[in-house]
Chain A
Amino acid sequence: EDQVTQSPEALRLQEGESSSLNCSYTVSGLRGLFWYRQDPGKGPEFLFTLYSAGEEKEKERLKATLTKKESFLHITAPKPEDSATYLCAVQAQQAGTALIFGKGTTLSVSS
C-alpha cells in the first residue's frame, strides 16, 4: 500500500536555528514527490516537485532533497513567517493523478 510518513509531527525552533523535516514514503513506482506549505485556515500552497533520487530544489530558506526512500525539507536560518504546516505528498505510477499526503509537520519559529 502506498504510504507517506512525516516526522516529527511538530517542531519548535528559535529564529535562525536550522533544522530538517523528514518525509518517508513507500510507493509502487514514484512519479513525483511534492512539498506543500499550509497556513491555518488556508489551502496548501505548492513549494517543490522532485522526480528522482539525488534531485534537489531550493527556494529562499528552504531546500528539498530526495532519496529512494525519503525526502528532507531543510530550513536554513528560519524566521517566524516560516511557521506553518509542511505537507509531503507522493504521486504513484499506478495511482493516476491522485496525490497521497502525509499528515504534515507543524513548524513553529519563535523570535
Chain B
Amino acid sequence: GAGVSQTPSNKVTEKGKYVELRCDPISGHTALYWYRQSLGQGPEFLIYFQGTGAADDSGLPNDRFFAVRPEGSVSTLKIQRTERGDSAVYLCASSLRRGGQRLKSLTGELFFGEGSRLTVL
C-alpha cells in the first residue's frame, strides 16, 4: 500500500483480556517500530525490528507485551492480561534502510501509521 497500515483503528477490551494489534509497513521498508502515545504526551518507544528480528526491545514496559515480525514485513504487537494503564494509541512506523547507507541519515525519518487506539475498561 501507499502508507503504513494499522488495524484495528479502535479496540475496546476488558481488563485481563488478550489483544493483538497489526501493522503493515510500507513495501520494501526493512525497519519497523512500535511506539505508544498517551493523551497529551509524545510517542514513547516500545520496540524496533530490523528485518525479522527484534533489534531493540528496551522500551517494552513488561513481559505482558510482545511483538513479532515473522516474515520481515507485517508485525503484530501482542498484549496479555491487559490493564487500564495500557490504554493509549499504539503507533507503528517504518523506514528504509539500505546496505551501505549512513545509519543516521535514515533511522529518525520514520513513516507512521494512523495508530490503533486501545481502550481497556
Contact = CB atoms under 8 A, between A and B. Distances in A.
Interface centre among B40, B42, B48, B110 (most CB of A within 10 A): B42
A98 B43 contact: no
A34 B45 CA distance: 15
A103 B104 contact: no
B58 interface: yes
Contacts of A32: 104, 107-108
A74 interface: no
Interface bin, chain B: 20 to 34
Nearest to B47: A98
B109 interface: yes
A46 B56 contact: no
A45 B112 contact: yes
Contacts of A100: 45
A103 B41 contact: yes
A49 B109 contact: yes
B121 interface: no
A43 B93 CA distance: 9
B66 to A, nearest CB: 18
B118 interface: no
Interface of B: 4, 31, 33, 40-45, 48, 55-56, 58-59, 91, 93, 104-105, 107-115
